[in-house]
Amino acid sequence: MAGSAVKAVNLEKWFGEGEARTYAVRKVSLEAGFGKMLYIVGPSGSGKTTLLSMISGILRPDAGTVVVQDKEIWNLSPNDIADFRLHHIGFVFQDYHLFPRLTTAENVAIPLIIQKHDWQDAIHQAMEILDVVGLKDRAQLNPVKLSGGEQQRVAIARAIVARPDILIFDEPTASLDGITGKKIIGFVKENILNEHRCILIVTHDSRIFEYADQIIMLEDGAIVKTVEGGLLEK
């Protein structure tokens, strides 16, 4: 599959009105293709997460458009956007947000279960994905019994189990040590990224920049630099 996976044009988000209006994101345009890993980087408060939320159909922009796979997502109804996220977008949250009362396999199966797959079928598919991320032997444990790196891989497994086209990572290495963080992102680049998938990563961890195909740097809600490849100055 070639071409644009995600295209955002003149995205804006502000909070407050009148003189109190504060821009979180201002006139940001970007495009990410299939088979690419796009990083959005910048200091805290630069609008990275807000931008990612608008692109992934979670936060409605105040201006601009987001086109994902030729579909302008913010023209959809709330339920349709939820459905769109469920079938096309996978999330790896910063704090993972795994369910401590469910087993690892059940955690991974959640997107399929929401898609109304049969329980056993969902668990079976989750086991296959856990095998991919090297955690099949941990399938029946609760996530709290796993290490940080393992939890991260469980979160990745959950994000990809429904075979989404777009993967969203929010600060994926924030809770990991440098070596584990690099291992995880290297693994993602080698095993998860493919020509049918686009990965967007919000991070300020310069140790993993080397894996990026494109880096967009934000400051005060606006793009200040775009770099092809992972060669952004640290």
Partner 1 sequence: MTGILKIAFKLLVNDKAKFAALIVGITFAMFLMVQLTSIFAGILKKASANIINIGAKVWIMDPAVNNPLNSIPMPDYILDAVRSIDGVNYAVPLYSSASLVKLNNGVYQAVTVLGLDDTSLVGRPQLLEGKIEDIYGADAFIVVRDQEYAKLDNPTLGTTFELNDHRGVIVGIAQVTTSGLFGMPTLYTTYRRAIQYIPNQRFTTAYILVEPKSEQDIPTIKARVAALGYLGLTKEEFIQRISDYYKYQTGIGTNILIMTITSFLVGLSISGQTFYTFVLENLDKFGALKAIGAKNRELVYMILFQAFFTGCTGYGLGVGLSALLINIAVRKVPGYAGNITYFNLGLAFVMLLVIVFVSSYIAARKVIRVEPFEIFRG
**Site residues (vs partner 1, CB under 8 A):** 49-50, 52-53, 58-59, 79, 82-87, 89, 91, 93-95, 97, 99, 101-102, 106, 110-111, 113-119, 122, 170
CB closer to partner 1, 43 vs 186 = 43
Which residues, other chains included, contact 119 with Cβ-Cβ below 8 Å and sequence gap of 6+? 109, 113
CB closer to partner 1, 87 vs 196 = 87
Closest approach, Cβ 83 to partner 1, in A, equals 6
CB closer to partner 1, 117 vs 138 = 117
Question: What does the angle CA 214 – CA 219 – CA 224 come to, to the nearest 5 degrees?
Answer: 50
Closest approach, Cβ 123 to partner 1, in A, equals 10
Closest approach, Cβ 175 to partner 1, in A, equals 11
Give bridge partners of residue 200 from the DSSP assignment. 38, 168
Cα distance between the two ends of the chain: 32
Closest approach, Cβ 118 to partner 1, in A, equals 8
- Cα torsion angle, 132, 134, 139, 142, sign: negative
CB closer to partner 1, 95 vs 195 = 95
Closest approach, Cβ 159 to partner 1, in A, equals 9
3-state secondary structure of 23: strand
CB closer to partner 1, 21 vs 101 = 101
Buried b (16+ CB within 10 A) or exposed e, 149-174: bbbbbbbbbbbbbbebbbbbbbbbbe
